[in-house]
Amino acid sequence: SFSYVPNVPVLKDVSLRAEPGQTIALVGPTGAGKTTIVSVLTRFYDIQEGYIAIDGMDITRIRKDDLRQQLGIVLQDVFLFSGTVMENIRYGRLDATEGECMDAAKLANADGFIRRLPQGYQTRLTEGGSNLSQGQRQLLSIARAIVADPSILILDEATSSVDTRTEIQIQEALLRLMEGRTSFVIAHRLSTIRNADLVLVINEGEIIERGTHRELLEKRGFYYNLYMSQFKGTNLREIEDVPTLPLHLDT
């Protein structure tokens, strides 16, 4: 359980177990508690009741710096600083070589656009990366996470729209990043939710439903109604035939 303000719980009796390599998707309305779950997993905040363990060890017994070395965090608002593209990628692991950073960029589908920049990997970015597009910033963030090589991934999928080609590149890069890693995803894309090993439906700080995408649809409960509200007038079979589709479950 967790409260920002005493006696006003934001998370209530949240209990979950992630197996190594498992992808867990968190879905639910705005303000349901999804981001708070991510915040306590990363120890941006400490919980007041219960415990969180990694490989059986309570995370409060792990130094925050050591904990975060195990975590790869890719958020909607990408943090890029004033420096070269290479320096921004290397921020994921400061002792990474240029070759390792370039390999990470290739896996993240970022190498192509980087080489088209005026000075390639030595191009200087403005604070926040405002001289890059939203999609390019996301790809750089994924490259940074790849070079960090974390065992656990925390991903908050971006909801902002990008062009179709960039969307496909981002999806491919995320799949490479998530491969073999335990991943917690605040999910907005239908493809992510469908491919998750476990979907947790969060509402008012509680896990109210859990299961696979298909299992939750068959229950015809909260998730089903949330899901179907996005596709009024559309046959469910037609929706399920779409390979990748933005799904705004925060509305």
Assigned domain for 78 exists: yes
Q: How many domains does the chain have?
A: 1
Q: Is residue 149 part of a domain?
A: yes
Reported as a pLDDT band with limits 50, 70 and 90, residue 136 is very high
pLDDT category, 243, cuts 50, 70, 90? very low
Query: Residue 186: pLDDT above 50?
Result: yes
Residue 187 lies in a domain: yes
Instruction: Identify the pLDDT of residue 248.
Output: 47
Whether 119 shows a pLDDT value over 90: the answer reads yes
- Look up the pTM and report it: 0.84
Structural domain contains residue 134: yes
- Evaluate whether residue 8 is within a structural domain: no
More confident residue, 226 or 119: 119
Confidence check: pLDDT of 56 > 80 = yes
pLDDT, position 242 = 44
Structural domain containing residue 93: 23-232
Q: Mean pLDDT over residues 41-48, rounded?
A: 88
Q: Average pLDDT of 27-47?
A: 88
Average pLDDT over residues 67-84: 90
What is the CATH number for 63? 3.40.50.300
For residue 246, is pLDDT > 50?
Answer: no
Q: What is the pLDDT of residue 1?
A: 80
pLDDT at residue 164 in the model:
84
Is residue 5 in a domain? no
In a domain, 227, yes or no: yes
Per the domain annotation, does 9 fall within a domain? no
pLDDT in tens, 206-226: 999 999 999 999 999 999 988
- Which residue is listed with tokens 């965090």? 73
Q: What is the pLDDT of residue 251?
A: 40
Q: What is the mean pLDDT of residues 46-53?
A: 89
Q: What is the mean pLDDT of the chain?
A: 87
What is the structure's pLDDT at 232?
A: 53
Q: Is 211 left (phi over 0), alpha (psi -120 to 50) or beta?
A: left
Closest-CA residue to 49 (of 16, 13, 6, 10): 13
Indicate if the pLDDT at residue 234 is higher than 80: no
